[in-house]
Amino acid sequence: MTNEATLPLEAEASASAGLSRTALLYGIIGGSLLTVVSAFLAWTWTAEFPGDLTYYGSPAPIQFVSLAGAVLTLLYALSALGVKGLGWLAPTGSRKAIEFLAVGNFLATGFTVVSITVVLGGVVHLEPGAYVAFVGSLIPALLSLKLPDDSHKAAPAKKLPSWAEILIIVAVFALGLYVVTYGIDTDDKEPQLFVAYLITVGSAALALLKSGLLDRFSAITAKNRQVTLIGSAAAAITFPFIQQSGDTYTLIAVNILIFATVALGLNVVVGLAGLLDLGYVAFLGVGAYAAALVSGSTASAFGFQLPFWAAVIVGALASLIFGVVIGAPTLRLRGDYLAIVTLGFGEIFRIAMGNLDGTSGPDVTNGPNGIPNIPHLELFGWNFGESHNVGGIVLGAYANYYFLMLLVMALVILVFARAGNSRIGRAWVAIREDETAAEAMGINGFKVKLIAFALGATLAGLAGTVQAHVNSTVVPENYVFAGPVPPNSAFLLAAVILGGMGTIRGPILGAALLFLIPAKLAFLQDYQLLAFGIALILLMRFRPEGLIANKRAQLEYHDEETTDQAPADLATAKAGA
């Protein structure tokens, strides 16, 4: 029985805790407002720092990033206070979201202030705006760590009319397109801006995930699949039309699409069938070399030119044949032995392409010099090497290849989705989970694995045919196990693991991050592999299932956290498998 004398004390303690939480939130709001104000002040008096932070009333791009982080922190703090109209921001609680946003904004802002000091040579180069920004971002970061946990199960979402859900989807895709374009378009001469952008976007993504808002949006997209697909396609098609710098950054987008397409092909082998392939980039090279040899290059040993559709078929078939030839004798191996053999195949391919120079072997690939001068594609009278005026907007050559790669990726996604949900796809998953048990149930393990290997090789060869024309040259050094420039086998495998094995969106996200970050942070090239290794260690520690994982993987890696809801989640995972 509860002692009545203790009730006033409990009420007083509760009121004190509530007051403390309210005071903390007001402090976070105050600090966020200071950061907002600082974005309109000068942070340094000299224009020598990249981005020119000397203006009052007009935030520079890096100040705009700090401003965006502060506004998000402010909104979530107001939501935690119970401000009417903002409760939808945190269906499962706002404490973790505020912490991620506040700490992330402090890291981004503090990084900028420290960069100014280091680049210009001392704190004397800081203007008052930089001090205001540093202190203003530090206050919410410290106070957010003291907030009591308010995590709770999300209440049922309010039912919205169809038109409102469609508007939400359109708005989110438009905002996502703007955020992605902002990151890709950052000036390569301003690496500090891209680092601050990465920190802010990463912390915002974690905040949205922890607050339950992403789950709410996923539920809306699941109810409106057709609208979601149309919105995704529209956002992707719009990208080249909003580029302010012509083809400068469209080329990055094209290479990301190529990298992501090849990663999806590898995802069939690794993510669905569970086969560790360390020489997968060789299949990309087979497709690229095959297309280069039949595309009319002046250095081609064949001396003839096929139309593009025929070159695509040649590249895909060549990769398919190599996949079967390599897979047939090796897929009877398992685990580390299979990995070693595939790694050897990748190295054999690179060395062989370098030796087919007419001296060490037949004159087929021009040896280490590769096959240069691959002509641009021409499809239905549309020359991919020329700029075109579409609706008054000039699209450069790489925009043509960008649209072509969108079609190729759409085809690969369709093949991956259909194969993964088919009978053979379920057999792949069974082999991945337990090959012995799968074979005991009547599955022909060797046949199933060979089909996965051949399909993955074909998809890689398909992407290789486009890559050969985009780069206009093919050389053996582009197809190594590990190197400073992706795609290579190590980065392809990392893209699948980082994004989430067995999913569609995961490898696309992983490939985009692993290509974009090295492209934007070239000054860290000497430490790229070190940073890469550290990132993988952190990923394995905190999110081993990848950034975007399916339900099954989440339950496997976090079963201790989901014991109470396991029956419901298992049913969901079974339904989505």
Q: What is the three-state SS of 59-116?
A: CCHHHHHHHHHHHHHHHHHHHHCCCCCCHHHCCCCCHHHHHHHHHHHHHHHHHHHHHH
CB 550 within 8 A of CB 503: yes
Q: What is the pLDDT of residues 519-529, one digit of tens each?
A: 787 776 777 77
- Residue 6 confidence class, pLDDT cut points 50, 70, 90: very low
Cite the residue boundaries of each domain of the chain with CATH code 1.10.3470.
252-546
CB 42 within 8 A of CB 109: no
Residue 556's pLDDT is what?
61
21 exposure class (CB count in 10 Å sphere: 0-12, 13-18, 19+): middle
How is residue 45 written in tokens?
């008096």
Residue 153's pLDDT is what?
86
Contacting residues for 289 by C-beta, under 8 A, at least 6 apart: 318, 353, 365, 371, 464, 468, 474
Closest residue by Cα to residue 235 from 463, 382, 406, 412: 406
- Asked whether the predicted pLDDT for residue 189 surpasses 90, the reply is no
The b/e string for 112-148 (b: 16+ C-beta within 10 A; e otherwise) is: bbebbbeebeeeebbbebbebbbebbbbbbebbeebe
Three-state DSSP at 295 gives strand
> Considering the domain 252-546 in this protein, what is its CATH number?
1.10.3470
Mean pLDDT of 198-205: 92
- Residue 359 confidence class, pLDDT cut points 50, 70, 90: confident
Round to whole Å and give the CA distance between 425 and 84: 48
Round to whole Å and give the CA distance between 285 and 34: 54
- Asked whether the predicted pLDDT for residue 99 surpasses 90, the reply is yes
- Asked whether the predicted pLDDT for residue 512 surpasses 90, the reply is no
Element at 378 (helix H, strand E): strand 378-379
Round to whole Å and give the CA distance between 159 and 164: 10
**Cα angle 557-505-433, degrees, rounded to a multiple of 5:** 40
CB 493 within 8 A of CB 303: no
Q: What is the pLDDT of residues 457-486, one digit of tens each?
A: 898 888 888 888 888 888 888 888 776 666
- Asked whether the predicted pLDDT for residue 221 surpasses 50, the reply is yes
């081993």: which residue's tokens?
Answer: 544
Round to whole Å and give the CA distance between 547 and 498: 6
Round to whole Å and give the CA distance between 135 and 114: 13
Round to whole Å and give the CA distance between 282 and 278: 10
The maximal CA–CA distance of the chain, rounded, in angstroms, is 97
Residue 102's pLDDT is what?
94
DSSP code string of 383-440: ETTS-EEETTEEE-HHHHHHHHHHHHHHHHHHHHHHHHTSHHHHHHHHHHH-HHHHHH
Mean pLDDT of 61-69: 92
Q: What is the pLDDT of residues 127-178, one digit of tens each?
A: 899 999 999 999 999 999 998 888 888 888 788 888 888 999 999 999 988 8
State how far Cα 304 lies from the chain centre.
Answer: 39
Q: What is the pLDDT of residues 546-577, one digit of tens each?
A: 777 776 666 665 555 544 444 444 444 444 44
Residue 483's pLDDT is what?
67
